[in-house]
């Protein structure tokens, strides 16, 4: 499974998406999040709600922070066959169980989550 887009949810509500790029990914808030929470620090003060996507560096800085570090990160990359530094690929595999209220996963996986509820 190599998705090109991952949904980002906060407290179960879709707030945006990550789009894979050749140098990582870019995050953009959904139209609903922009209209309901303009300029708010919905996820973080580093990613205040805005209309356009964030650049690859800011996206990497925030979303890679959702992943484990050091030996655990290396172990997960090996287990899932994800290249070192491919935080998008690893989020596609384990982003549904990030610490806190943020969840990241391919769109098609959300239908499985809802069906299991």
pLDDT of 53-108, one tens digit each?
Answer: 999 999 999 999 999 999 999 999 999 999 999 999 999 999 999 878 999 999 86
pTM: 0.87
- DSSP assignments along the chain, one per residue: ---SEEEEEETTEEEEEEEEETTEEEEEE-HHHHHHSTT--SS-GGG---SSPPPHHHHHHHHGGGS--HHHHHHHHHHHTPPTT-HHHHHHHHGGG-STTEEEEEHHHHHHHHHH-
Structure tokens at 112: 């499985």
**Share of residues in the chain with pLDDT > 90 (%):** 81
Is residue 114 very low, low, confident or very high in pLDDT (cuts 50, 70, 90)? very low
């Amino acid at each position: 499974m190599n998705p090109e887009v991952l949904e980002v949810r906060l407290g179960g509500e879709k707030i945006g998406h990550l789009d894979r790029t050749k140098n990582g990914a870019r995050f953009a808030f959904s139209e609903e999040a922009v209209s309901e929470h303009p300029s708010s620090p919905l996820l973080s003060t580093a990613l205040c709600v805005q209309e356009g996507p964030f650049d690859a560096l800011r996206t990497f800085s925030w979303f890679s922070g959702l992943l484990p570090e050091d030996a655990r990160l290396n172990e997960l990359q090996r287990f899932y066959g994800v290249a070192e530094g491919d935080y998008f690929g690893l989020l596609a595999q384990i982003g549904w169980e990030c610490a806190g209220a943020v969840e990241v996963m391919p769109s098609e996986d959300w239908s499985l989550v809802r069906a299991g509820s």
